[in-house]
Structure 1
């Protein structure tokens, strides 16, 4: 079942096209990563999904309902955490959490809220104006995960958190997926996206240019190899070999999938004594799309 879906979504501000065709979907019980550089259109897409902005064209639906026309009903079933949380300065953290949950028309589950505050090591008695950025993020995360929601839209949610709290966040996201909940996660922490997400969508210049599982997308990336051989290694002349480095002991380089067979044959002929292969990471994929051409392929 599809929980969130956009089709040919566009947004124009004056003469500037910010979104030129965003096709995105999130299934029930699925975590989808939404990545791209600043200015690519991630935040604009999320604001349209939240009913804050009206799309210029295309379609966006959550739970089969129009995100603009049915925003009030949709918001009863979703939770949103931005990357920069602003709170009411004179309310305590606990009061803010209760208020945000009640805005959805839900009763606060005090036991669930307390467990989450304990896990995030949040003191709910302090005024919001005294909180650091990390603690403000904790308030928003506790409020989101305390609510009974079917979809979580998270936009750089771990901004300001220390590594221990980032790990706690990741555990909670996986717990929500196990409960059949859905998550759209926008993050610059590529290792986090790679670890958590079932599928990934990459946005560039206002359009989703690639989407799929990591396995689906690995064909766009390069395999990292480290090789030691008996004889000098001579690889075939190819445009598919990159970042060649010769060390005192061996060779390390990257290779495109379509020339990997020829490279492996050359390695075998040189009398391989050691070979290490690392699959491409999400960061490799991301940089492949966005790195400035330095003339090295």
Structure 2
């Protein structure tokens, strides 16, 4: 099995020369995409600035992949305006594909082709590609360069797909679930590569179900549900909000009646048992709120354990906006 040992450089040499450095790399307005009677994307707006990472989040079926495929030129929109690097992805697709990198779900490589051959094939289509051997080394795939794609592990397939997206020195990269199936070392490597791309001035559109990944990497987060944008902003803006809302979490005996605690807390505070014995107090948390919770626990004859105050996580925000029920 190949190992990842070569450190990721600060930049990958993907820096693009452009006559419009202040223009967004992606600008979508009122995008609509239908599949028969199903509206997959319903009036979506999106803007990605050069040299920034935008994380597109949403439940399964929310319209993320459809939106990305429209931006890549693989799907034709039914309504709305889409400009990517100043080009129409459908009418000017050939020009656009020479300037972007795409890492789709499912790898996108030929099953029987060897890893090194696949990357060299993609590199041969670029005007000024990165050295395929160097990129294989950075991604820990040198030892697997003669292995057919179908015999690579899931994580290796993902890394090869990422290499194919980067080898052409793109100005903009679309990464659809880039760390799915990866071990922690490979996942960390992808994060470092995304950071290096940003440093090169490359725009990155990232879809992921991993909230910590989005919170770590993204300059901007857009949450989509039922084909519409339901929230957007930096991770800090989404998790902190404008009112300074925080959370108090603690553990105690499960099944406690929290109605008396709710009535004793300041107006606007909420209390939920989010898991067996795991309690969450939401609102503006101050010393008085902590004291009230501690006193209530004493009245119940229980000890509040693992008490901590923190801002809302991106996962909390995501679940508040899209619900907690499973999607098919």
TM-score range, shorter chain: 0.7 to 0.9
Label 1:10 to 1:269 Cα distance change in 2 as closer, same or farther (>3 A).
closer
SS at structure 1 position matched to 2:113:
coil
Q: Find out whether 1:241 has 2:262 as its counterpart.
A: no
Among 155, 178, 182, the alignment partner of 2:199 is 178
Partners of 2:133 and 2:142 lie apart in 1 by 15
Contact 1:200 1:211 in 2 (8 A): yes
Alignment length (residue pairs): 282
In structure 2, do the counterparts of structure 1 residues 122 and 39 end up closer, same or farther at CA, with 3 Å as the change threshold? farther
Deviates more, 1:169-178 or 1:99-108: 99-108
Q: Which moved more, 1:207-216 or 1:80-89?
A: 80-89
CA contact (8 A) 2:122 2:167 kept: no
The alignment's C-alpha RMSD in Å is: 3.0
Query: For residues 110 and 38 of structure 1, do their structure 2 counterparts lie closer, same or farther at Cα, with a shift above 3 Å needed?
Result: closer
How far apart are 1:17 and its partner, in Å? 1.4
* Shift of residue 133, structure 1, vs aligned partner: 2.1
- State yes or no: 1:37 paired with 2:59: yes
Does the 8 Å contact 1:33/1:185 carry over to 2? yes
Q: Equivalents in 2 of 1:289, 1:68: separation in Å?
A: 32
Residue by residue over 1:242-273, the C-alpha shift from the partner in whole angstroms, topping out at 9 and shown as x without a partner, is 2169xx9xx953213xxx27x6545467899x
1:99 aligned to which of 98, 109, 121 = 121
2:281 paired residue number = 254
Q: Distance in 1 between matches of 2:54 and 2:155?
A: 24
Which of the residues 283, 290, 293 maps onto 2:322? 290
Deviation at 1:145, TM superposition (A): 2.6
Say which of 8, 11, 31 aligns to 2:33. 11
Distance in 1 (CA, whole Å) between partners of 2:70 and 2:52 is 21
SS across alignment from 2:264 = coil
Alignment partner of 2:41: what SS? Answer: strand
Indicate yes or no: 2:86 matched with 1:64: yes
Higher strand share: 1
> TM-score if structure 1 supplies the norm length?
0.84
Distance in 1, matches of 2:317 and 2:31, equals 24
Distance, in Å, in 1 between the alignment partners of 2:105 and 2:143 is: 18
Match of 1:204 among 225, 245, 254: 225
CA distance in 2, matches of 1:106, 1:40: 37
Deviation at 1:44, TM superposition (A): 0.8
Asked if 1 retains the 8 angstrom alpha-carbon contact of 2:63 and 2:224, the reply is yes
User: Which 5+ residue runs of structure 2 have no aligned equivalent?
Assistant: 1-21, 252-259, 296-305
Asked if the contact 2:127–2:168 (Cα under 8 Å) also holds between the matched residues in 1, the reply is no
Look up the SS of the partner of 1:66 in the other structure: coil
Do structure 1's residue 152 and structure 2's residue 184 form an aligned pair?
no
Q: CA deviation at 1:90?
A: 2.8
1:85–1:270 distance in 2 versus 1, CA, 3 Å: closer
- Look up the match of 1:166: 187
Which of structure 1's runs of 4+ aligned residues deviate more than 6 A?
269-272
Show structure 1 runs of 5+ residues with no match: none
Q: CA deviation at 1:276?
A: 3.2
Change (3 A) 1:103 1:65: same
Equivalent position SS for 2:162: helix
